[in-house]
Amino acid sequence: MRRILITGGAGFVGSHLSKRLVSEGHDVLCVDNYYTGNKENIAPLMGRKNFEILRHDVTFPLYVEVDEIYNLACPASPIYYQHDPVQTTKTSVHGAINMLGLAKRLNARILQASTSEVYGDPKVHPQVESYWGHVNPIGVRSCYDEGKRCAETLFFDYKRQHGLNVKIARLFNTYGPNMHPDDGRVVSNFIVQALQGKPITIYGDGSQTRSFCYIDDMIEAFIRLMNTPEDFSGPVNLGNPGEFSILELAEIVVSLTNSSSEICFKKLPHDDPVQRQPDISLAKEKLSWTPKVNLEDGLIKTIRYFELLIKN
């Protein structure tokens, strides 16, 4: 049994990680300021003796006693991270500094939830960890992209300078229950629009591609990465290498929901990546991990969640 801190623990990914680790018998401290996190996501855990929640903003120092830290705190949806871009950068950078400082004091291992957005609009396809990326440092998405890139820099500098046991996961598109219905991400957008019979909104011509990983697969990868030997820090791509166009995703969602929604097209947002597909060779080698849930099965589970959410 370990004492584990999860920042952003009431968010989409954090809540699933909290549930998994609590179910395994670990003492879990969930920290969240509820900017995008939701208490409903962790409500089933509230009565558990090995689960504790603390309202806190990671841009301020935190003094607790733990063995491991999963640093997930940061809005991941463009709608939310562009609403207050200065705070988004501070969350990634100051948050990383504060959590690394805590890990250093405690000699705790620490995992950073980074992102495929560190590759920007990539010129290499599929993306491999050795690729440095093609990122606009002054665009509307830069607060998130560059904030995460700087966090990775800090993690490796703490490793080199202080010998800290760090892990960096680069998450590609992840979906599943507990996603916010209004977060602006493509899977939740399409499902909610389809269930409500509204037009399915595609930005651009729909030819841009993404790779979609179901949340249970992602959580398994997180835990395996955290438990790798100290000499492996990553960064490691985590995602499903199956590549789908946005138009294909829309058509699948319409079919699975039996929706009458029509597909409409709008202007592509600035700096929106044209291609996203992870090369997961490193994850296969170091974590013995590959995603198990295919897109259609994962979407069916996610649709059921949103059907209940919308009814209530």
- ∠ CA 212-213-214, nearest 5°, is 120
**Residues 96-106: what's their mean pLDDT?**
98
Q: What are the boundaries of each domain within the chain?
A: 3-175+213-239+277-292
* Arithmetic mean of pLDDT, 234-244: 95
Q: Which two tokens stand for residue 67?
A: 């063995």
Tell me if 156 sits within 8 A of 129, measured CB to CB. Answer: no
Q: Could you tell me which residues come within 8 angstroms of residue 221 by beta carbon, excluding any fewer than 6 positions away?
A: 169, 238, 283, 287, 289
Average pLDDT, the chain: 93
**Furthest CA-CA distance within the chain:** 58
Closest CA to 255 of 311, 186, 294, 200: 200
Question: Residue 204 has what pLDDT?
Answer: 84
pLDDT greater at residue 6 or residue 274 = 6
Whether residue 8 has pLDDT greater than 90: yes
> In this prediction, what percent of the chain has a pLDDT beyond 90?
79
pLDDT tens per residue across span 143-159? 999 999 999 999 999 99
- As annotated, the active-site residues are 144
pLDDT of residue 121: 87
Residues above pLDDT 70, as percent of the chain: 98
Q: Are 238 and 222 in contact (CB under 8 A)?
A: yes
Residue 216 pLDDT greater than 70, yes or no: yes
Torsion over CA: 268, 271, 274, 279 (sign): negative
Q: Stretch 93-112: mean pLDDT, rounded?
A: 97
State residue 271's pLDDT score.
59
Question: Count of CB atoms within 10 A of residue 63's CB?
Answer: 6
Region 11-35 average pLDDT: 96
CATH of domain 3-175+213-239+277-292: 3.40.50.720
* Per-residue confidence (pLDDT) for residue 226, from 0 to 100: 98
Q: Quick check: 298 pLDDT over 70? A: yes
pLDDT on residue 183:
80
Q: Confidence band (pLDDT; 50, 70, 90) for 13?
A: very high
